[in-house]
Chain A
Amino acid sequence: MDAAEFFQYVIAGLKSGSIYALVALGFTVVYGATGIINFAQGEFFMLGGVLAVWFHSLGLPLPVAGIAAVAATALLGVVFERVALRRQRSANPLVLVIITIGASMVIKSLARHLFGPDELSLQEFTPGPSIDVAGAAVERQALWVWGLTIVAVLVLAWLYRRTKLGRAMRACSISHDAARLMGIDTARVVMVSFGIAAALGALGGFAVTPLTQTSWDAGAAIGVKGFAAAILGGLGNPVATVIGGLVLGLLESLSVAFLSSTYKDAISLLVLLVVLFVRPQGLFGKARRGKV
């Protein structure tokens, strides 16, 4: 295998990986604010793509359709939190998880009623032939996926570090009760977190639909991948999450290159399990003090 071919596998891995990273970030943001795993995260990804196709078919220009899809999904995330989750704050986290599972079933099924059972397509943002990078071919749309991922991560980092809201979110991720005692409106933080998580998922779905098409059932598989990426990197830590996503994508791509395409998912999950058993806090997560 020459260097260019190897580089091509790396490109492929980073492409899938950045999509996993966006979905995984959604998991991490919600986990940070609430301590629950949102199983509807994959459906936000699906909605981003499906709604963008729908808005575009109504005649909106592509960028506007994309923004509208992300905004609509974010709104749905907020509404979902307010209607279904807020009253249950004190419940067992697993009960909340079940609500998100139920919601994912409903969202998925509604998408089928509204948008039909077939695949939906979206044009590339900037059509054209692939770009040659050191002997490897890179799709233009892949550049968009990476670009949007980087922008999303930077915005998220700025939000976390530089804004009052972000500080409140970080405080909540350390301790809800302490944050409330400090006068932080934890309910608002949780609501905003769901909005951000939904927007991140939708952004991923919008960016990737020109490459992959989308359909009402596109959320489940990517949800599992995103969850795995978040755990692999370290749940609750945004930077670690993004790295987790990229590592998962690379693992899959290199499995195809050196081992077997049939077993690539099994191989990457096996690596994930080993990592979990050796380092339960994830590859890059800090170990919690005391017994894990």
Chain B
Amino acid sequence: MGGMRALTRAGAALLVAVCLLVVGCAGSGAGGDDGAEPYRIGAVLSLTGSYAGLGIPEKKAIDLEVARINEAGGINGREIEVIYEDDATDAAKAQAAAVRLIDEEGVLAIIGASGTGQTMAMRSDAERAGVPIISMAGGSVITDDFSEWVFQTPWPNRIVVPFVLKQMAAAGHTRVALISDTGGYGVDGRDYVLAHAEEAGVTLVADQTYNAGDTDMSSQMTKIRAADPDAVLIWAAGKEAAIIARNARQLNMEQPLYGGSGIARQEFIDGAAEAAEGVRLGTGRILVPEAFGEGTEAYNVATDFIARYEAEYGAKPDIFAGHAYDAIGLIADALGRIDGDVTSEALRDALEQTNGWIGIDGTFTYSANDHNGLTEDEMVLYIIDGGTWRLDD
């Protein structure tokens, strides 16, 4: 065989592939247009890949809310239809998915992505097309690096880290050791710890990191133990956080452990077992809805959602389900406030005028320069006690 033949075949192969594609896309993209057509919303979630644990509860919450809204007659007499795309926790796929939702499905807005990197990857295409994105990822960069088209529902580290640091300082823990992961969540959190430690009145005496997939952090914890801190701050997500708590217990470290939203999951408690007892963490109020204050509207919203979610899926919603509830809820709220033509731009403007909308992550007030809409007031400190969370007193 020679190069000629190789090239011949390459050319023929390309020709075939291209023809298939063109036939393929010619079929899609059609669709009639009548008045009662539903509002089409896209959702780019990590249903597979390493963030599948986030994307799956998010999809459940969106399904639940869309069904409820539509059963109640929809919005302005029109139903909501959500078109899902799985980004497989991959930035390139998230971007292609966003383009497909915008161009082929003609969505008004996109919910997503589950992860920070995926959200950032979708941004330029959404901006260019003028379609708002509501991200369920917690990276501070999503709303710090401001875009007029990108909103966010979770409390970013910008809010959570200073809150937790202040709580540590208030408890008299001024010498703090930090261990964080080298993924997006840990690095983002670490930046805010370094920036806010002084202001909160704590000194960082150790600063250790680990990589996702590591199976033992006792070397890092030995290093931390040698620095003799008052308390240890774990800024991590995933199963490694539980290993850290275990390693601390194993090394007979007496120091209290603190953390943020990354460890606000039942899996952390299950994985760390006894080592989870006494761990304190700062995050939103959904873990113990009483934190909203019984009888308040926020309390009713949260308990209603928790009850419906549990009835449908047989398990309590986690914080990710809460982020998704807020994303679809904010869109529904904004759609209901639009006078005149419902366009992506009108939806964006309406979202920006969100004022005091009560969701799971807190009471949202967006503005022209705040697309996160939450404040430190939404944060509470929990302590893990008897295998569950209770408010720290």
Binding site for B on A (CB under 8 A): 1, 5, 8-9, 11-13, 15-16, 19, 109, 112, 117-119, 121, 123, 129-130, 137, 139, 208, 211-215, 217-218, 220-222, 252-253, 256-257, 261-262, 264-265
Most chain B beta-carbon neighbours within 10 Å: one of A13, A112, A129, A261 = A261
Query: How far is A80 from B239 in the complex, measured between Cα atoms in Å?
Result: 29
A207 to chain B: closest CB distance in Å?
A: 11
Question: What are 18 A-B interface contacts by the 8 Å CB criterion?
Answer: A9-B222, A12-B216, A12-B218, A13-B219, A15-B218, A112-B48, A118-B267, A119-B271, A121-B242, A121-B271, A123-B273, A130-B249, A130-B251, A212-B215, A213-B271, A221-B213, A256-B219, A264-B211
The answer to the question of B150 belonging to the interface, with a C-beta cut-off of 8 Å to chain A, is no
Is A215 a contact of B239 with CB atoms below 8 Å? yes
Is B213 a contact of A8 with CB atoms below 8 Å? no
Is B226 a contact of A1 with CB atoms below 8 Å? yes
Is B251 a contact of A119 with CB atoms below 8 Å? no
Query: How far is A217 from B53 in the complex, measured between Cα atoms in Å?
Result: 11
Question: How many residues in B have their beta carbons less than 8 Å from beta carbons of A?
Answer: 34
Query: How far is A221 from B168 in the complex, measured between Cα atoms in Å?
Result: 34
Known: A15-B216, A256-B219, A257-B222. Is A211-B251 also a contact (CB below 8 A)?
Answer: no
Binding site for A on B (CB under 8 A): 48, 50, 52-53, 56, 182, 208-216, 218-220, 222-223, 226, 238-239, 242-243, 246, 249-252, 267, 270-271, 273
Is A121 a contact of B270 with CB atoms below 8 Å? yes
Name B219's contact: one of A118, A139, A253 (CB within 8 Å).
A253
Q: Is the interface of A mostly helix, strand, loop or mixed?
A: helix
Q: Which residues of A contact B213 (CB under 8 A)?
A: 218, 220-222
Is B56 a contact of A261 with CB atoms below 8 Å? no
Is B218 a contact of A119 with CB atoms below 8 Å? no
Q: Which residues of B contact A109 (CB under 8 A)?
A: 48
B350 to chain A: closest CB distance in Å?
A: 34
- Which of chain A's residues has its CB closest to B52's CB? A117
Is B56 a contact of A117 with CB atoms below 8 Å? yes
Q: Which residues of A contact B243 (CB under 8 A)?
A: 211-213
Is B216 a contact of A262 with CB atoms below 8 Å? no
Is B271 a contact of A5 with CB atoms below 8 Å? no
Query: How far is A131 from B267 in the complex, measured between Cα atoms in Å?
Result: 27
Is A11 a contact of B271 with CB atoms below 8 Å? no
Is A262 a contact of B222 with CB atoms below 8 Å? no
Q: Which residues of B contact A208 (CB under 8 A)?
A: 215
Is B220 a contact of A261 with CB atoms below 8 Å? yes
Name A16's contact: one of B52, B53, B216, B223 (CB within 8 Å).
B216
Name A261's contact: one of B212, B216, B223 (CB within 8 Å).
B223
Is B56 a contact of A119 with CB atoms below 8 Å? no
A113 to chain B: closest CB distance in Å?
A: 10
A222 to chain B: closest CB distance in Å?
A: 7
Q: Which residues of A contact B210 (CB under 8 A)?
A: 261
Is A212 a contact of B239 with CB atoms below 8 Å? yes
Q: Which residues of B contact A118 (CB under 8 A)?
A: 53, 267
Known pairs A1-B226, A8-B251, A119-B53; list 12 more (Cβ under 8 Å).
A5-B226, A13-B219, A119-B239, A121-B267, A123-B273, A130-B249, A208-B215, A211-B243, A212-B243, A213-B270, A217-B50, A257-B222
Q: Which residues of A contact B273 (CB under 8 A)?
A: 121, 123
Query: How far is A265 from B243 in the complex, measured between Cα atoms in Å?
Result: 18
Query: How far is A121 from B211 in the complex, measured between Cα atoms in Å?
Result: 20
